[in-house]
Every structure is written in C-alpha cells, then in structure tokens.
Amino acid sequence: MSDSNPQPTSDRTQSGQGKRRIATKIGIVLVLVSGVLWFSLFAIPFLPLTIAQKAALASAFFVGVQIAWWSGATLLGPEAVARLWSWGRRSKTIDES
C-alpha cells in the first residue's frame, strides 16, 4: 500500500519557515557584503593601478554594492530594511531650557 497522502500542514509550515530562515541569512550576508564593498571603495585610490584601472574597479565595486544591497533588502523584507535605516538615523531630541 503506497502512501500518496500529502504531508501534514505542520510539516509544510516548518519547511516554509526553514526556507524563510535561509533567505533571511542570505539577505543578511548580502547586506554585509555590500557594506564591505562600500568601505573598500575608499581604498581604491591608494592601489598601485592606472587611473583607468582604478575607475573600472571602482565602477565594478559600486555596481556590486548596489546588487548586493538590493538583493539582500529584497530577501530581508521591508520590516528589516526599515530597522536598518533606523540604525543609521539620528534620533532628534528637543532641548528645552
């Protein structure tokens, strides 16, 4: 007798949560890679390359930053991206004297 019944819903939910966790981890790694590439742009002028090579490398890094950031942001979702943006913003305080 073959078991042709589909998996129970709890297994499907766990499988979906596992895929979501993997996507979240990949998104975090991509956002971190974009940060590393972004800060490495500042080292390019000090490399022993020609100006044309430096320009090409800087352009490639910039494109890599954009691809990594937007791919990671897509995988993380809007809530995580809003949290990342809030870390970069200063909180406004009103000084009352």
Going by pLDDT thresholds of 50, 70 and 90, the confidence category of residue 20 is confident
CA distance 46 to 37: 15
The predicted-structure confidence for 68-92, as pLDDT tens digits, reads as follows 999 999 999 888 878 877 887 776 6
Token pair in block for residue 6? 């589909």
Local structure of residue 41 (DSSP, 8 states): G
